[in-house]
Structure 1
Amino acid sequence: MDTVHENDIRGERPARPEQAVRPRPGFNRLMWREVLFLLLNLPMSIAGFVLTVVGLSLGAGLMVTIVGFWVLAGSLFAIRAYGSVERALIRSLLDEDIAEPLPVGAGQSRNSVWRRIFDVLSDGLSWRTALYLFIKLPWGIVTFTVTLVAVIVLWPLLPWITRGLSTVDRMLASSLLAPAKLTQRVRELEQDRGTVVDSAAADLRRIERDLHDGAQARLVALAMDLGLAKEKLTEDPVAAAKMVSDAHGEVKLVLQELRDLARGIHPAVLTDRGLDAALSSVASRCTVPGGARVRTDLPGGSDRESRPDSAVEGIAYFTVSELLTNISKHSGARTATIDAWRSGDRLMLQVGDDGNGGALESPGGGLAGLADRIRAVDGVFVVDSPVGGPTTVTVELPWRTRGRS
């Protein structure tokens, strides 16, 4: 294994998945779906307008009594549900991916009836959906009329007319029917928290199992052997000395197991010298025939301010460690490479091998577990592994996780 520190290592962020590019306007399947959507706008908008005006008017009129709160909350709940229907239509007919919102009051520990009513009445998406359905009636009349005329009279211009009208619908839906960015972020953080908790629980179970089956069992046997040696000390000093010598060798094995376990929790070299040295250390233990080559452009040493956050360093270290383990066990590779560098406010890693390829991020697999951990801290995990190889795994992590720059 050789380690090369290169100041000219550079790289771009791996491409993030993006929404599929729509085809140019033309007589294609998307155009006919847009036509269907625009013609459905009128009946859908009439139903939504009636629900909104009648429900909100009735609820507002009865607000002088307690019944008004129930009616208004029920109307907003129905309006919110109608918004789900609109989102489903837009996704299926206009290819506009609008995320579904969290349920009203999600994450609230208080479940009283009045709390639920307050959650509905204060839900911003419900009121934005009501505005959307109110606006949709005049717009639905326009789209229905123009589309119908275009189908009958302006046939050559139909693709461009429908694309223009449906683009307005996409913009309206994206601005009024989509959950707020903060709400969506809360949802992602809740999912990420579950992933982190599960990963931490799995790590604790692994440590407990390793201690129970390894060091703990050896220490129990060692205590018993030393007890027997103590009993034989006066009767058979030669046998007692041999037993003490065997116990000494057992102590060395226990110490090595504890060192290995500590390295698996958080290696001292990572804390003391940084990710640069830690990657060199883990690469030296890679068992591929040609070894693992490390190329880094990262600050090291005890200066914590210039290094990534300790949590990021830990994730990067264990990610590379597990990837190298996979390469050694499954890839059939002769060589492996590790590249690490900073790009702006991101830590970039690339682990490659010249093996058989075909690595997949399948649900429940090892790569999927790594990807979940990385995405839990707003990272990116990309696997490029065609059958026959080579394989390259690109990892992007935030340099800081606590708002420091």
Structure 2
Amino acid sequence: MHDSPRATPHPTPDAPPALVATVLRAPFTRRAWTEAAYCLIAFPPALAGGVVLLVFLALGAGLTVSLLGAVIGALVLVGCLWFARRLGALHRGLASGLLGERVPGAGAPGPGSGVFGRLDARLRDAAGWRAVWYALVKLPVGALGWYAVLFWVTGLINVTAPLRWGVFGQNAAPGDGEGMPVVTPVPVGGFEVHTFAGTFVALPLGLALLLLAPWATRLAVEADRRLLRALLGPNLLAARVRDLEETRALAVDDSVALLRRVERDLHDGAQVRLVAVAMSLDMIKERLGAPVGGSDGGEGATGPGSAGPHPPIDLDRVRQLVDGAHRNATEALTELRDLARGIHPPVLDDGLPDALATLAARSTVPVELTADVPHRPTPAIETIAYFCAAELLTNVIKHSGASQVVITVTEGVADSGGSTGGVLRLRVADDGRGGAAVGTGSGLIGLTQRVRTVDGSLRVHSPEGGPTAVVVELPLHA
């Protein structure tokens, strides 16, 4: 009996050829040439700007510590910060044009009040000081980029050695002790060739340098990318604080709006119906309190002191009053139940998948529901996800003209990669006419604000003609 052959994974034998092909193609790619161009172009302004900045920073710092030149030194430092910002904008433009690296600029410094207040605000410009750091650190990084370009230059020189010897006559003269130099990007290791056959020794060396050149420039460019994002972009901590302030304001506004809606619904709905019930009961009480017969003086008494007989009870009218009171009480209970459900749907007590199943069953458009949530989110997240699904389903029914809706709720990792605790991803797709966008009156602005209060996100893909897909990502824990 023979052992069955072991299955060998396909990626293993394919990996070396793929790696070799990537290395061989690298010198001929657009990315390699644009990165080399960036290293070549970006270093001269970085060198000139860095040297100027160093000189004036030293001058400003020296004047600032002196007693008489403190104000002048502060003005020089403010000028350095302004210059560093302009230099940073130049580098952001080069990175955007050549590398496709779009780094948003930092915000303007604080305005300050008064002459010294504005001066103090400029000196405390954190984005300006980060631009100064970028200009200084860019000097060695830019020098590394220029050194990486040497791999391209020396590789091209050595590859063309046989051509230059045979066609352009760049060979050594007879009896001349000097030959054709074979250069390398390292200070040592160069040599000379004195024969045409010797130039073919430089050819493989040049090819090897050209194969290494894209990776050398890529290393320098990657270091510069990280510096651009860290020092020339918006301050991540400040951006986070602003985002938290905005989401806190949204949460406060949302809670105030909810309280106002509850008050309005109670005042205009249930309260009015309960008042009507109370009035109907008062009228019923009056009707039932009237005696059926005459006065105690005897039946048919008509004397001067007699009050006369009371009219008989109108049972049909009493029944109408009871029916009206019953109807108002029922409607008031329904409105209170709907109001409570709008605050926290009772169906969520059994979990989000069951709540969405109930929501899908009530829909007038066929809904295909897929729910896979191994870890139950916190109640606040479940509530937001449920209301998002309800609002999106309502939009589909009212505006899309779709014949089918697919709701998918899963647990995964955020597409941005910024979340480490997992996310709840809700996707609502339909085959309607499309054209949905945030801010077109479809309620998507409210949903976006609601998910932002818990650091969630909402994305809409809805081209004209459809289909439409809305993806809501929420953290599992609020």
**By the TM > 0.5 criterion, same fold?**
yes
Q: 1:282 aligns with which of 355, 359, 373?
A: 359
Contact 1:381 1:395 in 2 (8 A): yes
The 3-state SS of whatever aligns with 1:187 is helix
Q: Does the CA-based 8 Å contact 1:132-1:177 persist in structure 2?
A: yes
For 1:170, the aligned partner's letter is R
Does structure 2 conserve the Cα–Cα contact (< 8 Å) formed by 1:34 and 1:94?
A: no
Aligned CA distance change for structure 1 residues 33 and 253 (closer, same or farther; 3 Å) = same
Partners of 1:135 and 1:298 lie apart in 2 by 47
Q: Where do residues 299-310 of structure 1 align in structure 2 (5 Å cutoff)?
A: 307-310=376-379
Identity rate, percent: 39
Q: Does 1:266 align with 2:321?
A: no
Query: C-alpha distance in 1, partners of 2:409/2:31?
Result: 46
Q: Which residue of 2 aligns with 1:81?
A: 85
Tell me if structure 2 keeps the 8 A contact 1:79–1:129: no
What secondary structure does 1:308 align onto?
coil
CA gap of 1:60–1:381, structure 2 versus 1, over 3 A, is: same
Contact 1:55 1:75 in 2 (8 A): no
Q: Which amino acid aligns with 1:174?
A: R
1:89-108 pair list within 5 angstroms: 89-104=94-109
User: Residues of 1 paired with 2:287 and 2:257: CA distance?
Assistant: 44
Contact between 1:76 and 1:127, CA under 8 Å: does it hold in 2? Answer: no
SS in 1 for 2:106: coil
CA drift at 1:392: 4.2
Shift of 1:96: 1.2
Q: Deviations over 1:192-231 (max 9, x none)?
A: 3344444445444544443444334434544555555556
Cα distance in 2 for partners of 1:92, 1:369 equals 36
Structure 1 residues 347 and 138, CA, compared in 2 at 3 Å: closer, same or farther? closer
Residue type of the alignment partner of 1:215: A
After superposition, give the CA deviation of every residue in 1:221-275 in whole Å (9 maximum; x if it has no partner): 44555555556554765435522430221111011011112111111232x3222
* Partner residue, 1:303: none
Q: Which residue of 1 aligns with 2:455?
A: 378
Cα distance 1:386–1:105, how it changes in 2: closer, same or farther (>3 A)? closer
Larger deviation: 248-257 or 129-138?
Answer: 129-138
Residues 84 and 128 in structure 2, CA contact (< 8 A), matched pair in contact too = yes
How far does the alpha carbon of each residue in 1:78-126 deviate from its partner, in whole angstroms, 9 at most, with x for none?
25633345434533454212233345469xxx98988876666566543
- Letter of the 1:81 counterpart: R
Q: 1:177 aligns with which of 196, 208, 232?
A: 232
Matched, 1:296 2:371: yes
CA–CA distance in 2 between the matches of 1:378 and 1:56? 44
Structure 1: how far apart are the matches of 2:267 and 2:73? 59
Pick one of 312, 322, 325 that aligns with 1:247. Answer: 325
Cα drift, residue 396 of structure 1 = 2.9
Question: Which whole-Å CA distance do the structure 1 matches of 2:93 and 2:477 have between them?
Answer: 38
Partner of 1:331: 400
What amino acid sits opposite 1:331 in the alignment?
Answer: S
Q: Which moved more, 1:259-268 or 1:164-173?
A: 164-173
Q: Given the alignment, which residue of 52, 59, 70 partners 1:50?
A: 52
The answer to which of 110-119 and 278-287 deviates more is: 110-119
**Is the counterpart of residue 215 in structure 1 residue 217 in structure 2?**
no
CA distance in 2, matches of 1:193, 1:200: 11
Deviation of the 1:340 alpha carbon:
3.0
Which of 408, 419, 439 aligns to 1:363? It is 439
2:245 aligned residue: 190
Distance in 2, Cα, partners of 1:197 & 1:328 = 30
| Equivalent residue letter for 1:131 | W
Whether the aligned pair in 2 keeps the contact of 1:102 and 1:187 (CA below 8 Å) is no
CA contact (8 A) 2:276 2:325 kept: no
Checking the alignment, whether the CA contact within 8 Å between 1:30 and 1:93 is kept in structure 2 is no
SS in 2 for 1:62: helix
Query: Which segments of 5 or more consecutive residues in structure 1 lack a partner in the other structure?
Result: 1-23, 300-305
Separation (CA, whole Å) in 2 of partners of 1:78 and 1:210: 56
Q: Structure 1 residues 192 and 41, CA, compared in 2 at 3 Å: closer, same or farther? A: farther
- Give the match's secondary structure for 2:65: coil
Cα RMSD (Å) of the superposition?
4.7
Count of aligned pairs between the two proteins: 367
Measured at CA, do residues 181 and 393 of structure 1 come closer, stay the same or move farther in structure 2, by a change above 3 Å? same
Q: TM-score, normalised by structure 1?
A: 0.68
The alpha carbon displacement at 1:53 in A equals: 3.1
The one-letter code sitting in structure 2 at the alignment partner of 1:261 is: L
Asked whether the equivalents of residues 347 and 396 of structure 1 are also in contact (C-alpha less than 8 Å), the reply is yes
Structure 2 contact 74–123 (Cα < 8 Å) conserved: no
**1:323 counterpart SS class:** helix
Give the drift of 1:323: 1.8
Unaligned runs of 5+ in 2: 1-25, 160-209, 291-310, 414-420
Q: Deviations over 1:322-357 (max 9, x none)?
A: 122122223334443433343374354445555324
Tell me, in whole angstroms, the C-alpha distance in 2 between the residues paired with 1:353 and 1:29: 37
1:130 alignment counterpart? 132
Alpha carbons of structure 1 residues 226 and 26: separation in structure 2 relative to 1, 3 Å: farther
Distance 1:257 1:399 in 2: 32
Counterpart amino acid of residue 253 in structure 1: E
Q: 2: CA distance between counterparts of 1:113 and 1:232?
A: 83
Q: Which amino acid aligns with 1:362?
A: V
